[in-house]
Amino acid sequence: MAIEHNQIVSLLNELECRTNFSIKKVTEYMLPKLKEPFYLYLDGKQAQLVIRPAYEVFKADLEAIDGVNAKAQYCHYSEMTRFPKRVQKSVNGIHYGLAFSFDTSEGLKAFIEKLIAINQG
């Protein structure tokens, strides 16, 4: 069973991820002490973290973390403005990224720690 939206929000706060804005179904966050954006997207009742598509090379590593589930398809949403666009159905394209859901709070913490490690390279 995936962890709930409000649990993810409180964990992200504990991990010192900063919120920039929240619009409709999406909240933009930044990794602690880094200028790397990611989004918390509420798809129906399931909350997902969405990261830049450039992380595709790390997708297998991130998905290998216990309690982390990668979505097979890209997540598209117009309010994820820091991400690149790709033409899907509209002529102008829509912002997209890689979506992940979480079964455990430990999985979410390990995921954020791995993203920080990747960014600090």
pLDDT tens digit sequence for 62-116: 999 999 999 999 999 999 999 999 987 767 899 999 999 999 999 999 999 999 9
Q: Hey, where are the domains in the chain?
A: 5-120
C-alpha of 49 from chain center: 2
> 5-14 and 105-120 helices cross at what angle (nearest 10)?
50
3-state secondary structure of 57: helix
Question: What pLDDT was estimated at residue 58?
Answer: 97
Residues β-bridged to residue 19 = 29
118 — pLDDT class (breaks 50, 70, 90): very high
3-state secondary structure of 8: helix
Q: What are the residue ranges of helices labelled H in 32-104?
A: 59-63
Confirm or reject CATH 3.90.1150.40 for domain 5-120, answering yes or no. Answer: yes
22 — pLDDT class (breaks 50, 70, 90): very high
36 close to 121: Cβ distance less than 8 angstroms: no
**CA dihedral of residues 52, 2, 45, 79 (deg, nearest 10):** -10
Report pLDDT digits (tens) over 50-73. Answer: 999 999 999 999 999 999 999 999
